[in-house]
Structure 1
């Protein structure tokens, strides 16, 4: 490629300035050094912390601040180089403009705290040399760099899942018409807005009409860096493609705003948004994919809970911590911003149509019955299964009942986002205030013929044995009365930053030692390893302070780890002691009366995997990653393990499960109660016992064997089990 053929696009920007670039490395080294000598650093770091701790929580750090500073300065340099591209300035003049240019001149108020320092001449020259004489691409320039700078774990904390450009284009194609007033309420780096503005620029309309159309494009985001990125993106687009003389800039409507609570608009904007209420033709975008429990601020959790109740989509108490922020956005934003008959079109987590916690959401109570779903059943564009959902707002005075909303038109796309099928989706059960999961009509017909298994009420989810780093241990030594324990290095190495905790050579009394297992060690028909855990409980699995006082070693250790828990727990958590966390929803105490045999299976995953545990004198506690059923009958346990490991059951529950969550969905299928006199049941028991031995042998030969490998090896034998299962589960 010749020099003149080079085009500065999102991919090239990552190559030139991303994590693996020399410029990135040198700039961060420079910024680290400047934190030691620059007077303005402390004040600006404090200001930054106040803003971003609300977005990312406690895990913000100096390194993140430095990375953010790099990002803002880089974009400033790139912008100034384009602003002054027709001035024929030499480097010294450009550098002077870089140092003196106040970004407030461009209405970029959001990032004041990052300009505590400037890059030196050497760094600025290297950056400018990389983009000299390069044509700038038309489109979202900074999407890839934005994704890289804001690492996936931090993006998850703010609920950001980036939308592929092809999907953005398809959604805009489907809904945008020139001149429409549009809002992206969580605009991120501006992908949707840039796409729309580019269409405006490329249209055949007059310059005056184009300016008016651009003024109808609005973007909000709670993250100041997202707003900054969007503004730079749009400015670069206008400079490169719209203003030949580079002499005038539009006032574009991109603001730091919490779209759910716009009354609390960032004070520096001085923008009265009330005049925009219920004035938009189109709301489009990809709202945050967070749940209530992911939110970092307790007061904000309360506001979200109250808002979901006002919107009449608040789930029942057992699901409150799973309130989907995307679901709240889908109701709250139209209510506040869309005009009557305005359209909302969002990328959404698929759980809004198949999660139990979104039952009320599926009433679609403020929309007309012209809904549309885009599904990507064979292609998850994100790590989380997703859909696109489109609706037309008609206010709370809705004449339609919930049943009128169904069936829903649906389009199915392949992995190239090519339309493969148009069909209808409906619900298993439609009621006045909501609906059960939404599926394709042909799948609904199958499920309507199913009879729920009586085992559904016999299986329970395990206890929340977290933080693991506090209660999992390795035995160092034993005496007659005590065992000496230290942190389990495997568990400690996997702990999140706030729960990194190491204890060494602590003594506890024997009675407080229990066993458990991790989901990663559960493979079909077998559990590879068991772990030791400390639980400060009596025989009834209660926290017994009198017992602990008579057990001073255990009491001392519990007080130590409980203190660490109370110091490091999320501020939003109302669970105030370690034991209360371990016994959340009484799921630990419920296991006090577990019987001699348990069958366990995974609570989430691509496929079911089940195994039998012999619990005689083992004191095994099942964790929340798994479900369990305890029985006195070893044969019943093996019967269930054989059924739950059958290939077709894993296949069929994928129709109805929410993302990777399995929970009790196996029992929506007609798994019969064990009958010791049934010949097929007897055969399944024998198969279960045989397969347990077989998989144990596979493990002994290869201790690292995983579930996928086990299924491959025993595939033909599993098909024989399937033939038996088909005879007892008729559907």
Structure 2
């Protein structure tokens, strides 16, 4: 019960503490006043406080007060007579030593407070540098601050608050990074992990976790230290989620923390009392219990137990909420993790699962369990409205809603979502043991042998060790999930306890000789792995990884979900070959060619899910990138007739079964990294004629998640079927002149008395588009550097381009001279350059930046610096044009992304960056013709459906505009001539407007302002209106 804030005794208690501080009383007197405050405010009971408590057994030293899990060390003056809150380092070291002794010698993971009554400093073992800011420190300025002190002690130091409400804010506040207790637990886990880096069990779990994470998310651009940090946080998450689930089902986790803290992650008591298998068990993240971390687990459990699990109602998505709290949004985006919003999962579930009591539903990429929870809610609602007895509901539900995911943490989230959503059904059930059907497995089945007789009888799991160890299981057993799961759990426990694991075969009545013989060999292998310290994970790993094979033999009525959207070139090498093989040879949906770099695995996941898991006549609905509706990389997939190059069979679907949903126009469109769609289909099997994804789609308009979303029918525009203008052949992307920090420069004044002839002095240019790691480098070596002017080039970038005209170009230092016709290439030279082709100062600079490039580029990047800049010959091509214009002596620039923008480039020697395209023209009339077309609103509207979509709409223009019917300029064509003349007038007017803008705002007008003002002028001026009228006639005709 919280203290009465109107009761004056609490202010008096705080005043007593402060008075003893101000008088400089003995430490014992201050300690006594603090003890009184803790007891009277009910932060701790008298029997929860110990005075003069040794931090470890045998220690001659003692902590002044121990309250709950917190050491309180009291001093007369914390700051050693200095003004303000500046804790004496010796005192800080003293409390840190106490905390270290307690943690290292088995007395528990504790928080510490160093205080003199006025200043209060929070510490924990491994806390690092002293922080006195809010949360980590508190200052009691006067007795009126007693309530704030009480709240600080309650929430951050003693963590004594009970019956914490189960709302998002409280969960984030007490279990996430905002809490000092969270930082303490993470630091402790990191130390445990670092001390156990040579433990074979921990190494195996860390390796398998990493392999599965890469399979789920693709290649992860992080070093080992960063991945270790993520592994530790995933460990914290899964431990807390497991404790939450146990507490929600009535397990007294506080008592378990005292009697058997290891079981908080092993889950034996939970399984014994609830009969629920496969929810809390020894997996990748149970390692703290195996390496001396039981005290930490106990501390964490006591903190989790302070929530009101029994009388409150934990939200079904609490596990996902915890995940989002611990792994921040920017990091989730970096990892490529995006979870489906609940409103979309609910809409899809209601659309597809129309008879929940008689339809089996599978989510083969179940992630955090959003679709699982919605399918369960749908089922339970139907069960409650039927004559089904409550005791039968869960048994039926268990066979009706199933999930698979290869992400090792996602399955924890989904299992928690499953049991919390099904809690009422579980409580009414009467099963002694039942497995929750959420499996950590490879839904695409790329990791299993298939296609031979042996694979029909056994499922083989690779251990991936130097001995090429395999664990084989009879398919007939795997298809009996209750028996298989319980058997594997018992085998692992028998091996762990030293009993004969073959007894488990008798316990579970495995009487078939073939099954017993196959399992005998596998059990022997598991015993060997245990002897090598590598057993603890394999029972969990194998029974989960084997489940997709068994599921593919049973088939389901409905598949629903949100598959991974990663590109093939982001996938793990070992799987990429198999992914491409299935895409090309099994289903014939590989687009390849110019679409290869854009092709993602979502289409393959959709097709393979139909093939492996969906019964003939069954239905599927999945969230896909918006490009699935229209882009070229999905063109073969959209046919619905998936026949591989080997031509052995054709799998057919009916995309016309339900109209696809176009979610691009919903606002805000930030729930996925790119706009999305939902595509439905019916499995027609191997004999029927496919119905392609064509005709109309249903576009959703309005606010994302709102009840009043408007749905309108619109035609599908297949961008791969659009024609090509001949200008596509005259258009070329600029060069990849990056890293910008190493190449672009700004001229500065030379500090010498005079400047060497034909040189300038430069600094690296810093810009908002600079990327890590380059923007964080120490560039002293190329700062205030004098360089020959022959190596300094004007370069036009997207930030130089405005409608019809340009702003000032940037300066770049390049490894060629202004009068060179070709690059001084030497493949064996520094950075791919023949150093003799460079001036002396440039030669030194080039060697410096090449070393920076090699030291800091991505490990997967094998290109030297020149090869990167001149990738696909994009720089060389510009030199060739400068040397010989041919019959196309004029260039215009076109934006690579965003709203179509173009301008004349009058400087022949200037270079063009990759953020722009350059287009050659026969004469100035043709240039004006193209400028008018590209800068028009009519063009922007016409090309938008052909462009790939980002969160903020049509994003990358590239050459998509040349899919429109834009004929090559013909001066004899009256419309062409009129467009050219209109373009010239608009260009002249834009130049005048820009000059006026610079007079008003200064020469350094930003590209954003210049584009905004010029487009406003174009839309209101006669010149702009004339352009629009003539271009509309061209595109309309």
Q: TM-score range by the shorter chain?
A: 0.7 to 0.9
Q: Secondary structure at 1:242's aligned position in 2?
A: helix
d(CA) in 1 for partners of 2:877, 2:443: 42
Contact 1:348 1:387 in 2 (8 A): yes
Question: Which residue in 1 is equivalent to 2:1012?
Answer: 711
d(CA) in 2 for partners of 1:122, 1:483: 64
d(CA) in 2 for partners of 1:401, 1:542: 53
d(CA) in 1 for partners of 2:410, 2:707: 27
Question: Which residue in 1 is equivalent to 2:911?
Answer: 620
Match of 1:414 among 675, 695, 702: 702
d(CA) in 2 for partners of 1:691, 1:70: 59
- Compared with structure 1, are the counterparts of its residues 114 and 283 closer, same or farther at alpha carbon in structure 2 (3 Å cutoff)? farther
Question: Which residue in 2 is equivalent to 1:586?
Answer: 873
The residue correspondences of 1:195-594 to structure 2 (distance < 5 A) are: 195-202=374-381, 203-204=383-384, 205-206=388-389, 207-239=391-423, 242-243=426-427, 250-264=434-448, 268-270=541-543, 271-277=546-552, 279-295=555-571, 297-310=572-585, 311-365=587-641, 366-371=652-657, 372-379=659-666, 380=669, 381-400=671-690, 406-408=694-696, 410=698, 412-415=700-703, 416=706, 418=708, 420-421=710-711, 423=713, 425-426=715-716, 428=718, 436=721, 453-475=725-747, 479-480=756-757, 486-490=763-767, 494-497=770-773, 500-503=776-779, 504-505=781-782, 510-528=789-807, 530-537=809-816, 539-545=820-826, 547-551=834-838, 554=842, 557-558=845-846, 561-562=849-850, 565=853, 569-570=857-858, 576-592=863-879, 593-594=881-882
Q: Shift in Å at residue 571 of structure 1?
A: 5.6
Contact 1:350 1:385 in 2 (8 A): yes
d(CA) in 1 for partners of 2:163, 2:715: 48
Contact 1:186 1:221 in 2 (8 A): yes
- Compared with structure 1, are the counterparts of its residues 480 and 667 closer, same or farther at alpha carbon in structure 2 (3 Å cutoff)? same
The residue correspondences of 1:601-680 to structure 2 (distance < 5 A) are: 601-605=894-898, 607-617=899-909, 619-623=910-914, 625-631=915-921, 633-634=923-924, 636-659=926-949, 660-671=955-966, 673-674=968-969, 678-680=977-979
Q: Shift in Å at residue 460 of structure 1?
A: 2.0
- Compared with structure 1, are the counterparts of its residues 149 and 525 closer, same or farther at alpha carbon in structure 2 (3 Å cutoff)? farther
The residue correspondences of 1:56-95 to structure 2 (distance < 5 A) are: 57-59=220-222, 61=226, 62-85=228-251, 91=254, 93-95=256-258
Number of residue pairs the alignment of both structures matches: 698
Contact 2:365 2:443 in 1 (8 A): yes
Structure label with greater radius of gyration: 2
Q: Which has the higher contact order (CA 8 A, sep 6+)?
A: 1
Q: Secondary structure at 1:283's aligned position in 2?
A: strand
d(CA) in 2 for partners of 1:301, 1:486: 43
Contact 2:792 2:812 in 1 (8 A): yes
Q: Secondary structure at 1:277's aligned position in 2?
A: helix
Can you give the 5+ residue segments of structure 1 that lack an aligned partner in the other structure? 430-434, 438-450
d(CA) in 1 for partners of 2:963, 2:236: 53
Q: Mean alpha-carbon deviation: is it higher for 207-216 or for 114-123?
A: 114-123
d(CA) in 2 for partners of 1:483, 1:298: 47
Q: Shift in Å at residue 498 of structure 1?
A: 7.9
d(CA) in 1 for partners of 2:569, 2:689: 34
- Is 1:188 the counterpart of 2:338? The answer is no
Q: Shift in Å at residue 191 of structure 1?
A: 0.5
Match of 2:997 among 698, 706, 725: 698
Contact 1:407 1:425 in 2 (8 A): yes
- Could you tell me the TM-score, scaled by structure 1's length? 0.83
- Could you tell me the TM-score, scaled by structure 2's length? 0.61
Q: Secondary structure at 2:727's aligned position in 1?
A: helix
d(CA) in 1 for partners of 2:803, 2:430: 65
Question: Which residue in 2 is equivalent to 1:598?
Answer: 891
Contact 1:110 1:256 in 2 (8 A): no
String of CA shifts for 1:192-214, please: whole Å, max 9, x gaps.
11111233333223332432322
Question: Which residue in 1 is equivalent to 2:326?
Answer: 149
Q: Shift in Å at residue 169 of structure 1?
A: 0.4
Q: Shift in Å at residue 227 of structure 1?
A: 1.0
d(CA) in 1 for partners of 2:878, 2:707: 48
Match of 1:102 among 259, 265, 269: 265
Q: Shift in Å at residue 387 of structure 1?
A: 0.6
Contact 1:4 1:133 in 2 (8 A): no
Can you give the 5+ residue segments of structure 2 that lack an aligned partner in the other structure? 3-160, 269-279, 449-460, 463-537, 642-651, 827-832, 950-954
d(CA) in 1 for partners of 2:423, 2:432: 9
Contact 1:220 1:254 in 2 (8 A): yes
d(CA) in 2 for partners of 1:64, 1:524: 46
- Compared with structure 1, are the counterparts of its residues 292 and 486 closer, same or farther at alpha carbon in structure 2 (3 Å cutoff)? farther
d(CA) in 1 for partners of 2:774, 2:369: 32
Contact 2:261 2:297 in 1 (8 A): no
- Is 1:17 the counterpart of 2:183? The answer is no
Contact 1:639 1:674 in 2 (8 A): yes
